[in-house]
């Protein structure tokens, strides 16, 4: 008799633990799916264009205009210098500068 009661309690305990694990799994995956669906599904495509440098333009001004993320401005300027073979930030009016820009539209 004692073994039957113990066995019954173990079955109940197992069922409760299994139910709790199942409940947490459902909650976890529903939160994961809702977070994924709330994220914007926008792909940015990287393009290059040439811009003419006007009097008074600086490399940093041009970078501010084309850089999509102001937190990445320093690395964007570094990339501009690299693709344009510049050793310093100095640019001259009348010259052209190849700049990187990003668009959601595939061209």
Total tally of structural domains belonging to the chain: 2
Of 106, 102, 100, 92, nearest to 49 (Cα)?
A: 100
| DSSP, res 72 | G
Do 50 and 98 lie in a common domain? yes
Do 49 and 89 lie in a common domain? yes
Amino acid 40: pLDDT: 64
**Torsion angle of the four alpha carbons 43, 50, 65, 74, in this order, in degrees rounded to the nearest 10:** 80
The parent domain of residue 31 ranges over 1-40
pLDDT digits (tens, 9 = 90+) for 92-105: 999 999 999 988 88
Do 27 and 50 lie in a common domain? no
Do 57 and 95 lie in a common domain? yes
The mean per-residue pLDDT over the stretch 5-17 comes to 88
Amino acid 37: pLDDT: 66
- pLDDT of residue 50 exceeding 90, the answer is yes
Is the distance from CB of 45 to CB of 92 less than 8 angstroms?
no
pLDDT digits (tens, 9 = 90+) for 52-106: 999 999 999 999 999 888 889 999 999 999 999 999 999 999 999 999 998 888 8
Do 52 and 30 lie in a common domain? no
CA-CA distance, 3 to 15, in Å (whole number)?
A: 18
- Sign, CA dihedral 45-49-53-59, equals positive
Amino acid 4: pLDDT: 77
pLDDT digits (tens, 9 = 90+) for 14-26: 999 999 999 999 9
């Amino acid at each position: 008799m004692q073994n039957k009661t113990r066995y019954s309690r173990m079955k109940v305990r197992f069922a409760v633990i299994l139910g709790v694990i199942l409940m947490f799994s459902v909650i976890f995956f529903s939160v994961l799916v809702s977070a994924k669906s709330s994220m914007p599904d926008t792909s940015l495509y990287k393009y290059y264009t040439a811009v003419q440098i006007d009097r008074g333009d600086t490399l940093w001004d041009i970078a501010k205009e084309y850089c999509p993320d102001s937190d990445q401005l320093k690395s964007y300027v570094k990339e501009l210098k690299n693709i344009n073979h510049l050793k310093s930030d100095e640019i001259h009016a009348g010259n052209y500068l190849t700049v990187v820009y990003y668009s959601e539209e595939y061209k």
